[in-house]
């Protein structure tokens, strides 16, 4: 796949699809800017090579309507601070005002367009909408791996109209993940957490063919327990997935490792007064599991210490509440300190790595959640497929 390095961009208008879908607090302030930081290498290359840079992204779920809280002015201001140069913003992503602004741009300048999802045509993958976007530029760049599993106008249809390239972030994500999972060194283990078995079922099936062990954590463990006939108290259980969980355990050939104990609480919030560590066979009916337990942490650490390749996706407990974060912290630190080649993906897992300042100790920390999972499952992501098709056509 060609990167933007293969294109001559001097004095060209380069339309870059980024993923500035950043988390916001109640006041609209950005609480995590790593997605913005991640595209800076691509932007610096374009600035150095005298391109005029037009950035487009979605933010939140405005459902095809203007939402004042989801305008792109704050990501533009944040980028300006990070890249230490002016970054301009216009309150639309097409039309005369946008076109006039772009006509006046000079090489090295950066413009951020308005939230693409203010238009319902974006999610509909509308070709006319994509064509209107394409008319703003000479070259299209996809640097939004985290959104590449979406067949949206700015990701897929737009490649019908412009010579297209991969940005450095997109290229790095694909190359790094492929390198780690194509020929993994053994023992190859996976750590899978999160709330729902249904979110991870296809990945678990895929990994069972490749890995030596899959260590389960997060709320999904309670669906597996229930499938074995164990009491799960008030823990989160996907009752409609019990048969599926039972089938997975049956065909896993002992590759799936479940926690032996869990931290339970009277309720899953910061005000929970009563917590205790219990064997998985002794979960009280009036309590809910919130984290993997002490013995499980020890057991998982032993498996991790002997591994040579590790994939981690999903927290071990309710990580956002400090008293339920120990399992996630301990597993993250143990993977980071191991000698294994390590790959982390998923918003919550990546957030844990950032919070613990362990980014440099992992071989690759993906910026993506859904796209990361689908790529690991072996699915051809729509935006990547479109890019490859474009590059054959625009040789």
Angstrom distance (rounded) from CA 188 to CA 207: 10
Partner residues linked to 292 by β-bridges: 262
Angstrom distance (rounded) from CA 204 to CA 208: 6
Averaged over 90-116, what is the pLDDT? Answer: 97
Between 395 and 59, name the one with better pLDDT: 59
State yes or no: pLDDT of 366 exceeds 80. yes
Averaged over 167-193, what is the pLDDT? Answer: 94
Domain with 255 in it = 186-339
279 lies in a domain?
yes
Spatial contact of 189 and 216, defined as CB atoms under 8 Å apart: no
Averaged over 84-112, what is the pLDDT? Answer: 97
Between 237 and 270, name the one with better pLDDT: 237
Spatial contact of 386 and 162, defined as CB atoms under 8 Å apart: no
Same domain, 165 and 191: no
Same domain, 283 and 240: yes
State yes or no: pLDDT of 273 exceeds 80. no
Q: What is the pLDDT of residues 109-135, one digit of tens each?
A: 999 999 999 999 999 999 999 999 999
363 lies in a domain?
no
Same domain, 335 and 246: yes
State yes or no: pLDDT of 270 exceeds 90. no
Averaged over 256-264, what is the pLDDT? Answer: 97
The pair of structure tokens assigned to 145 is 């791996």
Spatial contact of 42 and 146, defined as CB atoms under 8 Å apart: no
Collapsed DSSP state (helix, strand, coil) of residue 140: strand
282 lies in a domain?
yes
CATH of the domain at 196: 3.40.50.1260
351 lies in a domain?
no
359 lies in a domain?
no
Angstrom distance (rounded) from CA 111 to CA 130: 18
pLDDT at site 229: 95
Same domain, 205 and 308: yes
Averaged over 182-189, what is the pLDDT? Answer: 94
pLDDT at site 391: 84
Q: What is the pLDDT of residues 3-33, one digit of tens each?
A: 999 999 999 999 999 999 999 999 899 999 9
357 lies in a domain?
no
pLDDT at site 1: 83
Least-confidence region, from 71-80, 135-144, 331-340, 367-376: 367-376
Residue 242 — pLDDT band, cuts 50, 70, 90?
A: very high
State yes or no: pLDDT of 341 exceeds 90. yes
Nearest to 173 by CA among 385, 364, 384: 364
Same domain, 270 and 329: yes
Same domain, 243 and 158: no
Same domain, 80 and 125: yes
Averaged over 46-64, what is the pLDDT? Answer: 97
Spatial contact of 13 and 136, defined as CB atoms under 8 Å apart: yes
386 lies in a domain?
yes
Same domain, 158 and 207: no
Specify the number of domains making up the chain: 2
The pair of structure tokens assigned to 272 is 């929970």
Determine which helix (DSSP H) or strand (DSSP E) holds 190, and give its type and residue range.
Answer: strand 188-192
Same domain, 239 and 328: yes
Same domain, 164 and 206: no
State yes or no: pLDDT of 221 exceeds 70. yes
pLDDT at site 395: 66
Share the mean pLDDT of the chain. Answer: 94
Same domain, 206 and 321: yes
State yes or no: pLDDT of 394 exceeds 90. no
pLDDT at site 274: 83
27 lies in a domain?
yes
Angstrom distance (rounded) from CA 155 to CA 174: 16
The sign of the CA dihedral 349, 262, 258, 226 is negative
- What is the pTM (predicted TM-score) of this model? 0.91
Same domain, 91 and 52: yes
Partner residues linked to 263 by β-bridges: 277, 291
């Amino acid at each position: 796949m060609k990167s933007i390095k293969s294109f001559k961009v001097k004095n060209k208008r380069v339309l870059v699809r980024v993923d500035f879908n950043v988390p916001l607090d109640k006041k609209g302030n950005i609480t995590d800017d790593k997605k913005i930081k991640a595209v800076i290498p691509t932007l610096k290359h374009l600035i150095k090579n005298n391109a005029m840079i037009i950035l487009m992204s979605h933010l939140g779920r405005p459902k095809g309507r203007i939402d004042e809280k989801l305008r792109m002015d704050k990501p533009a201001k944040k980028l300006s601070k990070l890249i230490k140069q002016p970054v301009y913003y216009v309150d639309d992503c097409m039309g005369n005002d946008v076109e006039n602004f772009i006509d006046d741009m000079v090489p090295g300048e950066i413009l951020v367009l308005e939230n693409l999802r203010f238009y319902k045509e974006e999610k509909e993958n509308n070709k006319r909408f994509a064509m209107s976007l394409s008319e703003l530029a000479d070259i299209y760049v996809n640097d939004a791996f985290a959104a590449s599993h979406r067949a949206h106008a700015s990701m897929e249809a737009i490649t019908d109209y412009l010579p297209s390239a991969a940005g450095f972030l997109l290229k790095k994500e694909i190359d790094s993940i492929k390198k780690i999972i194509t020929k993994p060194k053994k023992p190859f283990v996976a750590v899978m957490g999160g709330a729902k078995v249904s979110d991870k079922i296809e990945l678990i099936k895929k990994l069972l063919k490749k890995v030596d062990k899959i260590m389960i954590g997060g709320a999904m463990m309670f669906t597996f327990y229930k499938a074995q006939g164990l009491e799960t108290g008030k823990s989160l259980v996907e009752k409609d997935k019990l048969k599926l969980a039972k089938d997975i355990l049956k065909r896993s050939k002992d590759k799936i490792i479940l926690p032996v104990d869990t931290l339970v609480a009277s309720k899953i919030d910061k005000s929970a007064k009563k917590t205790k560590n219990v064997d998985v066979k002794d979960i009280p009916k009036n309590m809910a599991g919130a984290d993997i337990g002490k013995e499980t942490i020890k057991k998982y650490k032993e498996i991790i210490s002997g591994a040579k390749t590790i994939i981690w996706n999903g927290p071990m407990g309710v990580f956002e509440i400090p008293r339920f974060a120990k399992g996630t912290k301990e597993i993250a630190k143990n993977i980071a300190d191991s000698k294994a080649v390590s790959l982390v993906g998923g918003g919550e897992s990546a957030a844990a790595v950032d919070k613990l300042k362990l980014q440099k100790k992992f071989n690759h920390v993906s910026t993506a959640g859904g796209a990361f999972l689908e790529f690991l499952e072996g699915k051809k992501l729509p935006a990547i497929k479109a890019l490859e098709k474009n590059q054959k056509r625009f040789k």
